[in-house]
Chain A
Amino acid sequence: MNIWGLAAIGGLVGLDATSFPQVMVSRPLVAGTLTGLLFGEPAQGAMVGAILEVFDLGILPVGAARYPDSGTATVAAVAAYSLVPLHALDPGVLLLAVIFGLSWEFVTGASTVWLRRLNERLVLSTPRWHGRPGRALERLHLTSMLLDFLRAAMLSVGGALLGALLLKPAAGHWALGSEFAAAALTVAAATVLGALISVFGGWRERWRALLVGLACGSLLLLLR
């Protein structure tokens, strides 16, 4: 495993989520694809990323709410999945990687809260911007960003190693077959994707646009 490459991707993804520059490489779809590229399997990374994206799309970073760092968790989940030999042949490993990614989001989210508290201490320890106030402010700000990068890098590598430890022994023990795994994933994903309508104003407000979309989607399905 390229630990430094994984740490770099994880750090950049974690930094992008809040600190800089929020160009959305931190979205699970993009973060998963980037991690997949690192392991030589971008399509697999995009698939795991897309699944996690469907489950996370409706979570909004509104106000000062606690918010899972889904990008860093996706990096860890895709890396762990890629570290299991012959993972593509075992649908159970894919499901477990998804569940691991969703669970790891709690840890990455908690680490963000911890970092924000640390930032608070840093702000308080810079009393009245002594000396050269501009430099002091820049130093404080860049230190916080560096800490965010390091936080995400460590959680990506640590998560990947922990995830691989959990996933490897599970390989080959899935009893319900690949079609059942796909079915379970599709039903859960359809529920959460449907729920996204509430983010856009709800069923009552958006039913026209939704129905036109449903008609177009069904047409696309027939034409394929």
Chain B
Amino acid sequence: MTFSLALRLRVFLRSFAIQGSWNYRTLVGTGFAFALLPVLRRVHGSSTPALRSAVERQAALFNTHPYLSGIALGAVARLEAEGAAPELIDRFKAALRGSLGSLGDRLVWAGWRPACMLLALLLLFLGLPWYLAVGAFLLTYNAGHVLLRWWALHTGLQAGRNVAEQVREAGLEPLRDRIAAAASFLLGAALPLLVMEGLTTDPIRPPTALVAAAAALLGLRFGMVTRRPALTGLALVVAAGFILGLAR
């Protein structure tokens, strides 16, 4: 069976909705079967016992990063088309489950997304109009997003059961490292602008800038554990500001 462009596009577009029925029992299992359905219908027919059995198997527990789901979708589509044994497909999916999720989380959620957003925030801090910052974020981010999804599906379809090797050779780990370095650079560039100019149109006085710089150093040193105290402090200031105002 050949995977025509139309068939690839159908699976590709459906993969954008892979998390549509996310639940605690099958995770993205039903979404995986939903995205794979055009291939299953082509292989097994529209309403046959074989299709029912295939849908039931593919809708079982599965998890992956949504952007890398194409790797599993493509590889499983190929296995289904080749008539691989259901047990083999199940074992194959189980082997892919953890690694795709972890790789995608580090590459996209902890890399590409914050890097693109830091670029947008930097543009805003530099005083550029909102539409340039928002537009730059959406264009940059989604260029990488769509490309990654298409590459993932293409790689899965090409490699089939050898997809793990292909993914290893694709150099996603070094890419993740470079994105993290770029994001750190953007973070470094954004911090002085935030500390000296603030987030609103009101001026930031030198003593405030000093306190903000010290706060940024605390954040750099202690990481995300500083988020809750920072927000609690802000909430207390807001409460104090209004209590004083009402008491006057």
Which residues of A does B touch, CB under 8 Å? 18-25, 27, 29-30, 33, 42-43, 45-47, 50-51, 53-55, 57-58, 60-64, 91-92, 94-96, 98-99, 102, 116-117, 119-120, 122-124, 128-129, 131-134, 137-138, 140-142, 144-145, 148, 170, 172-176, 178-203, 206, 209-218, 220-221, 224
Contacts and interface: CB of A to CB of B under 8 A. Distances in A.
A141 B20 contact: yes
A102 B242 CA distance: 18
B188 A195 contact: no
Interface stretch (B70-78, B88-96, B201-209): B201-209
A60 B216 CA distance: 20
B67 to A, nearest CB: 8
B234 A184 contact: yes
Nearest to A176: B241
A120 B213 CA distance: 47
Interface stretch (B151-159, B165-173, B179-187): B179-187
A46 B126 contact: no
Interface of B: 16-17, 19-27, 30-31, 33-34, 37, 40-41, 46-47, 51-52, 55-56, 59, 63, 66-67, 101, 105, 109-111, 113-114, 117-118, 120-122, 124, 126-127, 129-131, 133-134, 137-138, 141-142, 145, 180-200, 202-205, 208, 211-213, 215-227, 229-231, 233-235, 237-238, 240-242, 244-246, 248
A190 B195 CA distance: 7
Contacts of B130: 33, 42-43, 45-46
Do most interface residues of chain A lie in helix, strand or loop, or is the interface mixed? helix
A26 to B, nearest CB: 11
B35 to A, nearest CB: 9
Contacts of A138: 34, 37
11 contacts: A22-B19, A23-B138, A23-B145, A30-B137, A30-B138, A33-B134, A117-B23, A176-B241, A192-B227, A213-B189, A216-B185
Contact of B230 (A62, A180, A191): A191
Of the listed residues B21, B34, B130, the one surrounded by the most CB atoms of chain A closer than 10 A to its CB is B21
A190 B215 contact: yes
A193 B117 contact: no
A145 to B, nearest CB: 4
Nearest to A197: B220
A62 B109 contact: yes
A220 B193 contact: yes
A199 B111 CA distance: 8
Given A61-B109, A120-B25, A179-B202, A99 B234 contact: yes
A112 B245 CA distance: 37
Contact of A199 (B47, B110, B138): B110
